Amino acid sequence: MSEPPTFAVPPSFLGLPSDPNAAICVAGIPLDIGVTNRSGARFGPSAIRQASRMLVDGDHPFHWVDPRQLSLADIGDFAIALGDIPKSLALIEEQASRVDHLVALGGEHGITLPLLRALAKKRGPPALVHFDAHVDTWPENFGQIYAHGSVFYHAIEEDLIDPRRTVQIGIRSPVARNIYDWTLARGVTIITAQDVHEAGPADIAQRIRAGVGDAPVYLSFDIDALDPAFAPGTGTPEIGGLSSWQAQAIIRRLTGLNFVGMDVVEVAPAYDVAEITALAGATIAWEYLCLLARTQNATAKVKEPG
């Protein structure tokens, strides 16, 4: 083989070059000052990039694409304001506004709010597919209105997403009943982890498709959607979660959706074991990119003459 061995792949995501003009850009966002339990997700981007070396040996074994065929680059980490959540959110939004299609590596889930602010200004409010143990629709967490558990409360209140085309998968944490009811009343579809276990990936993927329809879709994947057995390296682990194969099987069935951006958040490598959480995060981002590559291939074939 002419390519370098796995351990020698460059330290960017999938070994990608840096090109801010690429159609799809991967960026790290090392923010974790709004977390409510264990900190450390600021080190998530580097850990996810390191683990992504395992994903460069060939084509996706289901879609038969290599996402590196896309116009794709790793543009490094976004700047943040040390210790200042509102200023950090403003900086993240400004940097995200320069990218046409962003794949963000968190960092805590709070980074999703400025990413959606930037996206909504360019494209209008998208549908949302949200994997998580938590609904993240609390108005505030312990007095902090921009904590990582409030991101989708603000996204709904600011009209950054279409709540009636929002599907949450993997929900199972303790939650105040009024928060849960508020989320449902806004039109959000909640699919619990128990629902996933009982129904299976094919049924869940069908429910996601029905929920988002033909709208542009943003994917937000909190790694704590996975059970701690599969993702111990996170700040707010909750037992009873999805296995890595369940999440993978659901995402693989979301072909043809009009995705306009995604993030994978809450990887905290200090609590990880043998990189399994970082690898799960890297693989989720890779699975997403493979969906884009498959869609691009299908579009190209349709346009071929004859």
- Per-residue pLDDT tens over the stretch 108-165: 999 999 999 999 999 999 999 999 999 999 999 888 999 999 999 999 999 999 999 9
Domains and CATH numbers, the chain: 6-301 (3.40.800.10)
Nearest CA to 50 out of 107, 80, 6 is that of: 6
| pLDDT value of position 275 | 97
| pLDDT value of position 303 | 54
How do the pLDDT tens digits run along the chain, 306 residues long? 457 888 989 999 999 999 999 999 999 999 999 999 999 999 999 999 999 999 999 999 999 999 999 999 999 999 999 999 999 999 999 999 999 999 999 999 999 999 999 999 999 999 999 999 999 999 998 889 999 999 999 999 999 999 999 999 999 999 999 999 999 999 999 999 999 999 999 999 999 999 999 999 999 999 999 999 999 999 999 999 999 999 999 999 999 999 999 999 999 999 999 999 999 999 999 999 999 999 988 665 545 544
| pLDDT value of position 3 | 77
| pLDDT value of position 49 | 98
| pLDDT value of position 301 | 57
| pLDDT value of position 103 | 98
